Amino acid sequence: MHPAPSVILFTSLSGLGFGLLAWLGLGLPAVTGWVAFVFYFIGYALAAGGLMISAFHLANPKNAIKSFSQWRSSWLSREAVMAVISLLVIAIHAIGTIFFSTRLTAIGALGTILALGTVFTTSMIYTQLKSVPRWNTPLTPILFQLWSLGGGGLLAGQFTAAAVLLAILGAVQVMAWKQGDAKGATGQSTIETATGLGRIGKTRLLEPPHTGENYLLKEMAFTVGRKHALKLRIIALICAVVLPVALIVAFPATHALALPVIALHIVGLLAARWLFFAEAAHVQRLYYGM
């Protein structure tokens, strides 16, 4: 599928933000006052900023308010509702920590659960789509949670826990790539199953259904070269997992270490997230003989 910058930034930044807020809800790091304000500000800026960026992916951004109305059936709507609830609950915890130097343990724990729940609803927007085989796997929500908690752990200064999570993330990400490659672009679907003509025999197109590139081909049949994809996979793993873990193991945890580790991780995250969309082929490409 076409990797729209707005969706890449939305899923990446909001995931980091909610991951950081999840750690803060657990009281990690144990900060109060202005130091706590800085951590919460970063978390809210990433989480809320990412959500606002997602509105630019809409044909009419003013329709974003309507995303709250279909929560009974739509994971996108559930994500919007969960995001607002989690940000409000975490705000209560933040006020107690910043202004009263008091950690409201129960509210903080609830905020953590809601923050991770928000990340889960984001992942389910993609996981539920049987029409995109690479996304339709239990590994997708697991990956979203690991990216969120691992990156959030780095932002929260929880380097040891983050290193463990990133190591697990690297292994699961490789598994997801291998699983997606094994499924192929359209999974078990073929032009015979897509048209329902398989009972007759082998099906082929008599003529292309179009004379030039159209919107559906641009959005749903975007392809990325294997060599290019392999390079980006290597960059994603090295930047997001290998180098951050190596630096954490080799050097003591300091603010000076946090900057390069977080910067490297974000570069790897963006590369992996670009691939997440670019390699996800929609089965409707079968109708175009692709």
Instruction: State pLDDT tens for residues 17-40.
Output: 999 999 999 999 999 999 999 999
The confidence score (pLDDT) of residue 62 equals: 67
Single-letter amino acid, residue 7: V
Structure-derived torsion over alpha carbons of residues 251, 252, 257, 262, reported in degrees to the nearest 10? 90
Structure tokens at 204: 């082929």
Kindly indicate the confidence band of residue 5, based on its pLDDT and cuts at 50, 70 and 90.
confident
Cβ–Cβ under 8 Å, residues 144 and 116: no
Rg (CA), the chain: 21
Write the CA distances from 15 to 48, 72, 118, 230, integer angstroms: 10, 23, 9, 24
User: At how many degrees (to 10) do helices 226-237 and 255-278 cross?
Assistant: 160
- Distance between CA atoms of 32 and 96, rounded to whole angstroms? 9
Q: Residue 58 above 90 pLDDT?
A: no
Under CATH, domain 5-288 is a member of which superfamily?
Answer: Formate dehydrogenase/DMSO reductase domain (1.20.1630.10)
Angle at 171 between CA 166 and CA 176, to 5 degrees: 115
Q: Is 204 exposed, middle or buried (0-12, 13-18, 19+ CB in 10 A)?
A: exposed
The tens digit of pLDDT for each residue in 74-116 reads: 999 999 999 999 999 999 999 999 999 998 999 999 999 999 9
- CB count within 10 Å of CB 187 equals 18
State how far the Cα of 223 lies from the Cα of 108, in Å rounded to an integer.
43
Question: What 8-state DSSP symbol labels residue 43?
Answer: H
Q: Two tokens at 289?
A: 């003989």
Q: Taking the domains of the chain in order of start, what are their residue ranges?
A: 5-288
Report pLDDT for 6: 87
